[in-house]
């Protein structure tokens, strides 16, 4: 029988099919951070259970960590407690931990791929929704809750239901200065935040084949925002090249054997998918979210919708609530939206490719006077080092940006880098729901290039037009 990529990885890791329709699945890699792990470790201690395989687990603090003045420590007592607790648990159970001064520290979904902790064909979990990021390397990766974190720690397995197969085929090439972030926001706009519910999405087509691994990560990262359990991209020569010469890459002794296995990590020709949709990349313009969900998106030339145009009362209320929260008016031009803060970072867009794109836009320009704060937060110590080697940090600082240490930062209101009430932010992160970046904060999701341009202009503007005029 012809199999999809998802079917192949699933079948390789299936331990047992339960009578209730769920399955016991083996997990190759378990990534742990400071927020969702304390209760899991406590649960093991209470039951006097040990870790099944500590060599399969890698830990890092990222959500609560400060992105500046790290030498002074963590001021927030709860954040400090969570980080200290993770450190203690890792010492106790002999788990690999990348501390704040380690160049390999960073956002968990950035360091996993760049260190080759993530490898093709693996199953991988983390107590974090955006674990789907790792699917860009042809691995089956998904987020789990705290109880499942404990279960994987203790058994190296998880009970889950198998998802259906959803292929999203994207043809042709994205226009210059249109990124994978714009593409995935466009897709979510079309299919909605529940369009992928019950599915694992495989992204295919020549557009995906021509994408960098980093761009594929952005696609898979936000597959969860379309409701999917996971996102996947098949193994190819780019994946092969990406996996070489990293900290945990297979040694020369085992590389040939690994590659032989990896090359099978593609959907078979004529494999049956439960759902298929196609998109033309040339139709995609730079995107901006206007509301409180990733599906509330339009292109840069668009307008904020008018709830009165909706016949469905629930949709009308849905739009009106978002407009009220965001402080926007019906039919308002997207380009007229003035901003307070700019955030370039997160597990979606903090890799070296993202920073290069942003730096290319801001070089030679200054952050607008109406922007209170513009920050760039590299996704890891390795990304930071590479950016500084290339002089990107100097470009940002000269333009008026703050250059920070690695961490989740302003992606979520869980650390010092939060929005104040009613502040409006152009963010390269993945979520824009109410309060995501801070109490009453207003978030607009955009690409790194669009965020960079918004910093210069003080409002949203078309990066394609800007680049053509530059």
Express each pLDDT in 137-193 by its tens digit: 999 999 999 999 999 999 999 999 999 999 999 999 999 999 999 999 999 999 999
pLDDT of 1 strictly over 80: no
Tens of pLDDT, residue by residue over 372-383, are: 999 999 999 999
pLDDT of 391 strictly over 80: yes
* E strand or H helix at 262: helix 252-262
- Which sequence spans correspond to the domains of the chain? 5-275, 287-469
pLDDT of 71 strictly over 90: no
Which pLDDT band holds residue 413 (cuts at 50, 70, 90)? confident
CATH class in words for 287-469:
alpha beta
pLDDT of residue 72: 86
User: What is the number of alpha carbons within 13 Å of residue 288 lying toward its C-beta?
Assistant: 29
Strand 341-344 with 424-427, pairing: parallel
Terminal Cα-to-Cα distance of the chain (whole angstroms): 54
Whole-number average pLDDT of the chain: 97
pLDDT of 469 strictly over 90: no
- Which residue intervals of 19-164 are DSSP H helices? 38-46, 77-93, 108-114, 146-155
Instruction: Judge whether 5-275 and 287-469 match in fold.
Output: yes
Which pLDDT band holds residue 20 (cuts at 50, 70, 90)? very high
pLDDT of residue 268: 97
Which pLDDT band holds residue 355 (cuts at 50, 70, 90)? very high
List the one residue out of 300, 227, 279 whose CA is nearest residue 463: 300
pLDDT of 470 strictly over 80: no
Which of 1.10.1760.20, 3.30.499.10, 3.40.50.2000, 2.30.40.10 would CATH assign to domain 5-275? Answer: 3.30.499.10
Give the single-character DSSP code of 282.
Answer: G
Measure the CA–CA gap between 322 and 324, rounded to whole angstroms.
5
Q: What is the mean pLDDT of residues 252-267?
A: 96
Q: What is the mean pLDDT of residues 352-356?
A: 98
Q: What is the mean pLDDT of residues 247-273?
A: 96
pLDDT of 132 strictly over 90: yes
CA distances from 412 to 151, 408, 409, 442, 466 (A): 27, 7, 7, 12, 30
Q: What is the mean pLDDT of residues 309-325?
A: 97
Tens of pLDDT, residue by residue over 46-64, are: 999 999 999 999 999 999 9
Enumerate residues 6+ apart whose C-beta is below 8 A from 300: 285, 286, 287, 288, 334, 335, 450, 460, 461, 462, 463
Question: For 365, phi and psi rounded to 5 degrees?
Answer: -125, 165
pLDDT of residue 50: 92
């Amino acid at each position: 029988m012809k199999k999809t990529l998802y079917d192949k990885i699933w079948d390789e890791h299936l331990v047992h099919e339960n009578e209730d329709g769920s399955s016991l699945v083996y997990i190759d890699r378990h990534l742990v951070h400071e927020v969702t792990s304390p209760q899991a470790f406590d649960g093991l201690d209470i039951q006097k259970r040990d870790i099944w395989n500590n060599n399969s687990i890698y830990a890092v603090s990222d959500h609560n960590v400060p992105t500046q003045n790290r030498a002074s420590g963590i001021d927030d007592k709860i954040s400090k407690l969570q980080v200290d607790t993770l450190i203690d648990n890792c010492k106790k159970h002999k788990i690999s931990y990348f501390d704040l001064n380690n160049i390999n520290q960073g956002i968990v979904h950035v360091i996993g791929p760049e260190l080759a902790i993530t490898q093709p064909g693996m199953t991988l979990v983390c107590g974090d929704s955006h674990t789907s990021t790792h699917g860009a390397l042809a691995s089956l990766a998904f987020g789990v809750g705290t109880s499942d974190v404990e279960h994987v720690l203790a058994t190296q397995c998880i009970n889950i239901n198998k998802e259906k197969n959803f292929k999203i085929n994207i043809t042709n090439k994205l226009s210059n200065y249109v990124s994978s972030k714009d593409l995935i926001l466009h897709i979510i706009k079309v299919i909605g935040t529940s369009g992928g519910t019950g599915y694992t999405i495989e992204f295919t087509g020549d557009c995906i084949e021509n994408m960098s691994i980093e761009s594929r990560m952005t696609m898979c990262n936000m597959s969860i925002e379309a409701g999917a359990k996971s996102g996947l991209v098949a193994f190819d020569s780019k994946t092969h090249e990406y996996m070489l010469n990293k900290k945990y890459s297979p040694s020369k002794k085992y590389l040939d054997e690994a590659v032989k296995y990896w090359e099978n990590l593609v959907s078979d020709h004529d494999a049956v998918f439960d759902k298929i949709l196609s998109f033309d990349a040339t139709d995609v313009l730079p995107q901006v979210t206007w509301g409180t969900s990733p599906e509330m998106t339009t292109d840069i030339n668009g307008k904020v919708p008018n709830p009165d145009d909706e016949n469905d009362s629930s949709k009308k209320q849905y739009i009106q609530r978002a407009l009220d929260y965001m402080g926007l008016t019906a039919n308002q031009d997207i380009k007229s939206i003035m901003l307070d803060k700019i955030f370039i970072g997160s597990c979606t867009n903090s890799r070296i490719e993202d920073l290069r794109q942003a730096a290319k836009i801001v070089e030679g320009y200054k952050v607008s006077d109406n922007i209170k704060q513009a920050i760039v937060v590299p996704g890891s110590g390795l990304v930071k080092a590479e950016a500084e080697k290339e002089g990107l940090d100097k470009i940002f600082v000269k333009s008026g940006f703050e250059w920070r240490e690695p961490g989740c930062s302003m992606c979520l209101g869980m650390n010092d880098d939060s929005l104040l009430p009613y502040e409006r932010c152009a963010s390269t992160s993945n979520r824009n729901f109410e309060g995501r970046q801070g109490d009453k904060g207003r978030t607009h999701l955009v690409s790194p290039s669009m965020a960079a341009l918004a910093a210069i202009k003080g409002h949203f503007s078309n990066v394609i037009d800007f680049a053509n005029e530059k």
